[in-house]
Amino acid sequence: MLPSNYPVDPELITIKRLFTTPLASIQYPDAATLNAQLKAVITRRMAHDLRGAQRSNEGGWQSANDFQKWDDASCVALVTFATAFATQLTAVHSEQYGLTEPAFEWKLNAWANVNQAGHSNSLHGHPGAFWLGVYWVDAGGREDDPAVGGDLEFIDPRGMVASTYNPALRMRVEDCLTAGFSSTYAATSGTFVMFPSWLMHSVQRFEGARPRVSIAFNFGA
């Protein structure tokens, strides 16, 4: 007769995490120099276009989505870096060759964002693109004071899978503790993040004393 009290050894459990959603990040080399130049360029653009564009921003200023065409060495450097970043994260699949390195030219557009205290960005996605990138020129002091806010917030694309049953339950699996809930990522000056453009996201209310400046990129093929 088999015993009824076999212990479950967690070391023997095999877990395969399906449908992973990547959030990639990288620090720009010599970001301080680049960011000083980008701030100057963006400040000049704001002075000539006080109204700016309106997308997801609740307050704040956004440029037209032509940052990739701005004629300044700092802009060219960031666009080149962003393009290389997207390419490193991408593979092309075909029946004949399987997975191969991308050999196409990305279709991209990008724009600058400037949020002052009290500003935020509502929940949204970026249809028509494959990757969405965000580079923080200035996180507005978030590195030193979490109360400054302005964090990116991501909504689980699978929906409220856990909280609809019992909000107290969590999946005790690496990278799955927030399944069914939202996750946040703190802004850091000089950091570039990349994630799928369909991943719904928002920017939490910012309360910094100096502007929060970022540049968003859409990458499509």
Which sequence spans correspond to the domains of the chain?
29-92+105-151+186-220
Q: For residue range 88-121, what is the model confidence (pLDDT) as tens digits? A: 999 999 888 899 989 899 999 999 999 999 999 9
Which numeric CATH code is attached to 29-92+105-151+186-220? 2.60.120.620
Q: For the chain, what percent of residues have pLDDT higher than 70?
A: 98
Per-residue pLDDT reduced to its tens digit, 1-39? 777 788 899 899 999 988 889 999 999 999 999 999 999
Q: Would you state the pLDDT for residue 2? A: 74
Residue-averaged pLDDT of the chain: 93
Please classify residue 109 by burial: count the beta carbons closer than 10 Å to its beta carbon, then call 0-12 exposed, 13-18 middle and 19+ buried.
middle
Given a cut of 70, whether residue 133 has pLDDT beyond it is yes
Q: What is the model's pLDDT at position 189?
A: 98
pLDDT at 180: 85
Judge if pTM exceeds 0.95: no
Mean pLDDT, residues 115-138: 96
State the pLDDT at residue 163.
63
Beta strand residue intervals within the chain, DSSP E: 24-27, 57-58, 61-62, 92-94, 98-100, 107-115, 120-124, 131-138, 152-155, 182-185, 191-196, 201-203, 212-220
Percentages helix, strand, coil for the chain (3-state, rounded to 5) are 20, 30, 50
Q: Is the pLDDT of residue 162 over 70?
A: no
- In one-letter notation, the amino acid at residue 65 is N
Backbone angles phi, psi at 59, to 5 degrees: 85, -175
Q: pLDDT per residue over 72-88, tens digit each?
A: 999 999 999 999 999 99
